[in-house]
A and B are shown apart, each in its own frame.
Chain A
Amino acid sequence: MQKIPRLMVAALRGGAGKTLLTIGITAALRRRGLSVAAFKKGPDYIDAGWLGKAAQSECYNLDSYLFDKETLTASFISRATRHDIAMIEGNRGLFDGVSASGEYSSAELAKILATPVVLIIDASKMTRTAAALVLGCKLLDPDCSLRAVILNRVAGSRHEKTLRDSIENYCSIPVIGSVNKMSMDNFPQRHLGLLPLFEHSGANTLIEEAANVAESHINLDALLELANSAAPLHFAGLIKPERETDPDHVDLRIGVLRDSAFQFYYPENLEALEATGARLQEITALEAQPIPDLDALYIGGGFPETHAERLAQNTVFKESLYNAVNSGLPVYAECGGLMYLAKELIIDNSAYPMVGVFDVATVLERKPQGHGYMTVQVIAPNPFFPLGTVLSGHEFHYSYICSETPEANSYAFKVTRGHGITGSLDGIFKNNALGTYLHLHALGAPDWARSILNLAFNYHQIRMGKKKGQ
């Protein structure tokens, strides 16, 4: 049994200001000298990036659709125990899941982890009706422990009083915070959520501002009391110890492309790659130098579109990567990484030459071309996954793939849920490089890291053999 003070911050819908307030609360608690473990419900990278920055430690994802309950609980316990409090940010509406029964919703996650829920209410253009909405949340699932409300976008003290009185009277749920409409107006947003960290010059200032707002508008003592009231967490399973070092892996060097163009990496994925002894080496695609000697390369998602010109001009790096793939370097590329490995990236009718491993172009659109959970089945022999493997993850892309000779492409995956590259196929591969719109999470796909490491080991042997042979 683990005593872990913990809270989930949830809302009635996306866009209610949940992330900003969670960032603010997290940073404000840290200012009090508390060590905060941050978690994000769902597969989101951007909110998690912000939360991690606010907590000054990694933010981990909790997703009961992608991981089984035991894995999820074990991850939560092992990553929260070292800290004073765990903050979990829900996603979308509290009861929004993949189906009508609310499976995989934030409420379900709160129940799995027996976590008290604080509900953020976007009170704009609403007064007493807020009480009806809170009441509905309280009654819809009494097992979900809805314990407090924070009002957001409140217009003034009269507005606040009406909201507070009605919610406390009709729902017997305390209102522990009330944030004014104007307090957080200058926070930028892009795509679904906040801007990714790297692109935001004032990231730290913004977090400090959010902390100021939380300190002055939210009763942090009440919040801590609520977190401390969480019952000890029962977990019958084994909290897995760190994996043991594999002698085959200690010499491996896995490159991770990480710069302002490529930034979407689950910390769990990176941990999985280095858990058995392999070393990670961060490299950038924006500097004019060839790639270093690597045994494998992992390219995550990001925003190649906002760096198209710089990526296109960096021929030194592109050519070295192209040659490395030709000589068998294993490359696993997701979303933005897939776009980078294509022949060209087309934005507003301008074509930017990319690495050219795959003989396709990616075209950026104004609207998402795929968004949500995605499941694939492996249908073609490929370097990474055995036939028949089923993989679940997440996709979110504004680009689509355009190919002059679609029949010449090799696809490893059949898409059984989601969109992928063609609507029915995904996982384009060539040599030991595979590009996909699917973002995999290591906790939901344990074979993923193993296969990259196996390929890296083989490539390492070949590389070393060549060196010896020279």
Chain B
Amino acid sequence: MNIPRILLAALKGGSGKTLITVGLTAALRKKGLSTSVFKKGPDYIDAGWLSMAAGRPCYNLDQYLFSSDAVLNSFATRSGNSDIAIIEGNRGVFDGIDSQGSSSSAELAKLLRSPTVIIIDCMKMTGTTAALIKGCQEFDPELRVEGIILNRIRGTRHEKVVRESIKRVSAIPVVGVVPAMTLKNFPQRHLGLLPIQEHPAAKDFVEEAASIADNSIDLDQILRIAQMADDLCKPSFNQKDTENISLSPRVRIGVLKDSAFQFYYPENIEALTSRGADIIEISALESRPLPTVDALYIGGGFPETNAQRLADNLVFKDSVRLFVEHGGPVYAECGGLMFLAKTLVVDNNEFPMAGIFPASSVLNKRPQGLGYVELRARASNAFFRQGQLLRGHEFHYSTMILDHIDQESWPFDVLRGHGVDGAHDGLQVRNALGTYAHVHALSEPSWADAMIRKAREFHKAQETNT
């Protein structure tokens, strides 16, 4: 199979990659092309924007979190019904988790045999761009760089000098020249863009990005480059995803989805539905109790920007507490963990939360944990078997202040990353587990298995009780 595809990469974060990729995706879609979108790495926010631009879910591809086969398999199945696949790289093209560049955007491009387009931020630079392009070519000759997009170009003379300089060292065509500009409705927060749900004019922005791309990027040339992709390697399909769970009995899994909780990999939701779950979307901001569910999944988000509303929603908080007291399984990540704690402290203001975990989360000005994590499940873990290794990702500005520390009850040891205290991650009460780590279903298929198993156990227990 051979889906036309390109990977867009840059030399460092902050080069305008997401703006250009979002714009390009939306512009291609406007041309009537069905565009599948992928984001390299564990990021939710860029993926959200890409998904809005493409009008379909954006999937993450991550060679640190998933096996190569899982990456290939996910890409093949999820790009199969599109005219072109757009993959957005992350950070610098050769940046990986180590000095060998493992799991870099370049490695992903090579695994997917995808032509790469390099975006160069040309601000305050002219002829030196040639050195950078030459460096990329010589550094890894196996990476197929087939196009260059110049970003933040100031005027025609700047463009001319940069173009000619690159031409002197490389035959790679310049396929786009994006002018330096200020985008009023393109605010940035944390690492990347604001999440869509919080953006007042998300659609306007996507439109604006599309017209920028349309005006400054040669879309036909992008398509030609995408068509230069070699045949995709066949994945060997020997994934871990083999715990043959039967699809029945079906279970109802509640998912908190509102402006406070929004970080869910679509693959995670699909992993639940494909195992026989019906997904019930629930808002923690509306004053009504938790509906009847067999398990609850609370993803990350920004409880801090919704702290007052969450604190005021007594009806909902009480029902969640009751659900946990009855043994209801809850899996909460990051923002979800914060919601299940006793209080959330923002700028010295305390907001009472659901009160499941005897701890307060305190929001800081700087990230307290950022990057990949590796965890080992401990004996007490309600979802994972003892000793099981998991990989995931954390990105949190909050720290957890525990009322008391019980060394026996930690659900995870932290082997890489920060977690709750640098050595452990997770808090657990009965069947409610909260963790700073975000787990991806393609990395850890047993997560969905555990969710379904716990939901069925709880469902069964409820039936027996009534």
Interface, chain A (partner B; CB < 8 A): 12-15, 92-102, 105, 124-137, 139-140, 161-162, 165-166, 169-170
CA distance A94 to B129 in the complex (A): 10
Q: Are B99 and A13 in touch, CB under 8 angstroms?
A: no
Report chain B residues within 8 Å CB of A136. Answer: 130-136, 138-139
18 more A-B contacts (CB under 8 A) besides A128-B96, A128-B104? A13-B124, A13-B128, A15-B123, A93-B131, A94-B128, A101-B127, A124-B14, A126-B95, A127-B92, A128-B94, A132-B92, A132-B93, A132-B136, A133-B132, A133-B135, A136-B130, A162-B98, A169-B99
Closest to B9 in A: A129
Q: Are B13 and A139 in touch, CB under 8 angstroms?
A: no
Top 9 closest A-B pairs, CB basis?
A136-B135, A129-B92, A93-B128, A125-B13, A100-B164, A14-B124, A126-B12, A132-B139, A165-B99
Closest to B140 in A: A132
Q: Are B128 and A125 in touch, CB under 8 angstroms?
A: no
CA distance A360 to B347 in the complex (A): 54
Closest to B168 in A: A100
The listed residue with most B CB atoms (<10 A of its CB), out of A97, A102, A128, A140, is A128
Q: Taking the complex as formed, is B11 at the interface, i.e. its CB lies under 8 A from any CB of chain A?
A: yes
Q: Are B139 and A92 in touch, CB under 8 angstroms?
A: no
Report chain B residues within 8 Å CB of A125. Answer: 12-14, 91-92
Q: Taking the complex as formed, is B2 at the interface, i.e. its CB lies under 8 A from any CB of chain A?
A: no
Report chain A residues within 8 Å CB of B197. Answer: none
Which residues of B, 411-437, contact A by the 8 Å Cβ criterion? none
CB distance from B274 to the nearest CB of A (A): 36
CB distance from B462 to the nearest CB of A (A): 47
Interface, chain B (partner A; CB < 8 A): 11-14, 91-96, 98-99, 101, 104, 123-136, 138-140, 160-161, 163-165, 167-169
Report chain B residues within 8 Å CB of A12. Answer: 125, 128, 131-132
CA distance A97 to B13 in the complex (A): 26
Q: A125-B92, A126-B91 are in contact. Are A135 and B139 (CB under 8 A)?
A: yes
Q: Are A97 and B98 in touch, CB under 8 angstroms?
A: no
Q: Are A97 and B92 in touch, CB under 8 angstroms?
A: no
CB distance from B228 to the nearest CB of A (A): 22
Q: A94-B131, A136-B134, A136-B138 are in contact. Are A129 and B126 (CB under 8 A)?
A: no
CA distance A131 to B135 in the complex (A): 8
CA distance A161 to B100 in the complex (A): 12
Report chain B residues within 8 Å CB of A162. Answer: 98-99
Q: A126-B92, A128-B92 are in contact. Are A140 and B169 (CB under 8 A)?
A: yes
Report chain A residues within 8 Å CB of B127. Answer: 93, 95-97, 99-102, 105
The listed residue with most A CB atoms (<10 A of its CB), out of B98, B128, B138, B160, is B128
Q: A135-B138, A135-B139 are in contact. Are A129 and B133 (CB under 8 A)?
A: no
CA distance A12 to B129 in the complex (A): 8
CB distance from A133 to the nearest CB of B (A): 5
CA distance A135 to B138 in the complex (A): 8
CB distance from B181 to the nearest CB of A (A): 13
Q: Are A140 and B99 in touch, CB under 8 angstroms?
A: no
Q: A128-B92, A128-B96, A169-B99 are in contact. Are A92 and B138 (CB under 8 A)?
A: no
Q: Are A13 and B123 in touch, CB under 8 angstroms?
A: yes
CB distance from A284 to the nearest CB of B (A): 35
Q: A136-B132, A136-B138, A139-B138 are in contact. Are A130 and B92 (CB under 8 A)?
A: yes
CA distance A419 to B128 in the complex (A): 25
Q: Are A15 and B135 in touch, CB under 8 angstroms?
A: no
CA distance A469 to B29 in the complex (A): 88
CA distance A98 to B158 in the complex (A): 10
Q: Are A100 and B134 in touch, CB under 8 angstroms?
A: no
CA distance A15 to B127 in the complex (A): 16
Q: Are B161 and A131 in touch, CB under 8 angstroms?
A: no
Report chain B residues within 8 Å CB of A15. Answer: 123-124
CA distance A139 to B134 in the complex (A): 8
CA distance A102 to B128 in the complex (A): 8
Q: Are A133 and B11 in touch, CB under 8 angstroms?
A: yes
Given A100, A126, A170, which contacts B139 in the complex, CB threshold below 8 Å? Answer: A170
CA distance A136 to B126 in the complex (A): 14
Report chain A residues within 8 Å CB of B167. Answer: 100
CA distance A131 to B96 in the complex (A): 12
CA distance A135 to B136 in the complex (A): 8
CB distance from A213 to the nearest CB of B (A): 20
Q: Are B94 and A132 in touch, CB under 8 angstroms?
A: yes
Could you list 25 A-B pairs, sorted by A, with CB under 8 Å? A93-B124, A93-B127, A93-B131, A100-B164, A102-B165, A105-B127, A124-B13, A125-B92, A126-B13, A127-B91, A127-B95, A128-B92, A128-B94, A128-B95, A129-B12, A132-B132, A132-B138, A132-B139, A133-B131, A133-B132, A135-B139, A136-B132, A136-B139, A140-B134, A162-B98
Report chain A residues within 8 Å CB of B129. Answer: 93
